[in-house]
């Protein structure tokens, strides 16, 4: 992949699990949500691994340790060892260790994932801003029960000039009951109280990509995620290919309006997309065609869907079919892929402003 602006989802004749040697999988919103496996995740990952694809789980969630994540995945039916889990806690611990003396004290605002990662780098996690010789403050997701007073503790130290680090700045996190505030929201609280800016390690920034490469040794990696501003942008920054799955925080409308660094190589409903090829999106006289659908950017500022080769709007008088993962007439994923090509081409290096509401309403995605 190059950093040139993408104007269409890519095609792949090979199944993705055969075209790439390693899947770098986000967890929340991709493999599980609220602790429960997302539909089709377990069997899709098992099939990909059985065919020789290496699996690595790359998460911005710094709350839990790799051992705890691996145990949880095992309970869900996804056999995993701790070495296959890479967290933003590990990335930020390495970042801190490169800037402070060995054995330095670091104030932890977050969970055990941060504490274990700091110890792995020879640093000493502490709980109070009053610790003598405090070298850094690190902030990571602490779960919904993290006391408000922890943000005050961070602020006391930062306001005295102690360097501030954050595992990640995801504003939200998907859960079983919906979308909840993420570590980025907590970072904003401390930023308001201090006026300071943290050094951030997690996706989409280089420290997380470096940590992942060092720990996996992947040669042809495919980033698999649900977030445009972390997973997909991280792949863009690392110049590797990406698969967006629609099981987490990104919806079809956000995808159409994606700026160049947020446009995935491929898009699919869920992790079954790893086991298939990806259909070609072709330019045609009317617009862009994929499967049984053509997407058209009209002069009236509207994105329309039409049946391929015909002038009428697709699905007139009926619903879009629920076909397979790609290539079948009526498959809403093919319609979305065609719409992406139309929207991204019009947008170029910017953001698409065409009205796609009517077209998207028919897809049921």
**pLDDT digit of tens for each residue in the chain (365 aa)?**
445 689 999 999 999 999 999 999 999 899 998 889 999 999 999 999 999 999 999 999 999 999 999 999 999 999 999 999 999 999 999 999 999 999 999 999 999 999 999 999 999 999 999 999 999 999 999 999 999 999 999 999 999 999 999 999 999 887 778 889 999 999 999 999 999 999 999 999 999 989 998 999 999 999 999 999 999 999 999 999 999 999 999 999 999 999 999 999 999 999 999 999 999 999 998 899 999 999 999 999 999 998 755 554 444 434 444 434 444 457 999 999 999 999 999 999 999 999 999 999 988 76
83 alpha carbon, distance to own chain's centre: 20
Q: Report how far residue 103's alpha carbon sits from residue 100's, in angstroms, rounded to the nearest whole number.
A: 9
The predicted-structure confidence for 260-319, as pLDDT tens digits, reads as follows 999 999 999 999 999 999 999 999 988 999 999 999 999 999 999 987 555 544 444 344
Dihedral of alpha carbons 90, 94, 96, 97, sign: positive
Distance from C-alpha of 115 to C-alpha of 143, rounded to nearest angstrom: 15
Six-digit token string for 317: 């008088």
Separation CA 207–CA 65 (nearest Å): 18
Positions marked active-site? 26, 28
* Cβ neighbours for 147, distance < 8 A, ≥ 6 positions apart: none
Q: Is 210 exposed, middle or buried (0-12, 13-18, 19+ CB in 10 A)?
A: middle
């Amino acid at each position: 992949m190059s950093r040139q602006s993408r104007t269409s989802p890519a095609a792949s004749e090979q199944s993705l699990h055969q075209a790439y040697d390693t899947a770098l999988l986000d967890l929340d919103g991709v493999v599980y949500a609220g602790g429960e496996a997302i539909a089709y995740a377990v069997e899709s990952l098992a099939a990909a691994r059985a065919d020789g694809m290496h699996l690595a789980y790359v998460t911005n969630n710094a709350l839990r340790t790799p051992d705890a994540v691996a145990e949880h995945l095992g309970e869900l039916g996804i056999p995993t060892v701790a070495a296959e889990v890479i967290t933003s806690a590990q990335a930020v611990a390495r970042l801190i260790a490169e800037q402070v003396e060995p054995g330095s004290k670091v104030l932890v605002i977050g969970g055990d994932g941060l504490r274990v990662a700091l110890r792995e780098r020879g640093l000493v996690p502490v709980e109070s801003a009053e610790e003598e010789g405090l070298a850094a403050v690190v902030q990571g997701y602490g779960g919904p029960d993290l006391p408000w007073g922890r943000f005050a503790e961070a602020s006391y130290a930062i306001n005295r000039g102690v360097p501030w680090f954050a595992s990640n700045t995801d504003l939200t996190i998907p859960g079983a009951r919906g979308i909840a505030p993420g570590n980025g929201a907590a970072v904003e609280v401390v930023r308001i109280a201090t006026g300071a800016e943290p050094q951030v390690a997690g996706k989409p920034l280089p420290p997380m990509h470096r940590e992942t490469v060092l720990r996996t040794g992947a040669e042809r990696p495919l980033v698999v995620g649900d977030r445009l501003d972390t997973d997909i942008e991280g792949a863009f920054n690392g110049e590797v290919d990406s698969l967006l799955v629609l099981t987490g925080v990104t919806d079809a409308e956000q995808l159409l309006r994606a700026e160049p660094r947020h446009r995935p190589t491929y898009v699919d409903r869920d992790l079954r997309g790893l086991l298939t090829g990806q259909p070609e999106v072709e330019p045609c006289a009317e617009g862009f065609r994929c499967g049984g659908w053509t997407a058209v950017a009209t002069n009236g500022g509207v994105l329309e869907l039409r049946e391929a080769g015909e002038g009428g709007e697709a699905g007139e008088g009926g619903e879009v079919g629920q076909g397979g993962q790609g290539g079948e007439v009526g498959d809403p994923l093919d319609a979305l892929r065609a719409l992406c090509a139309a929207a991204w081409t019009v947008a170029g290096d910017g953001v698409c402003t065409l009205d796609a509401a009517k077209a998207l309403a028919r897809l049921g995605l």
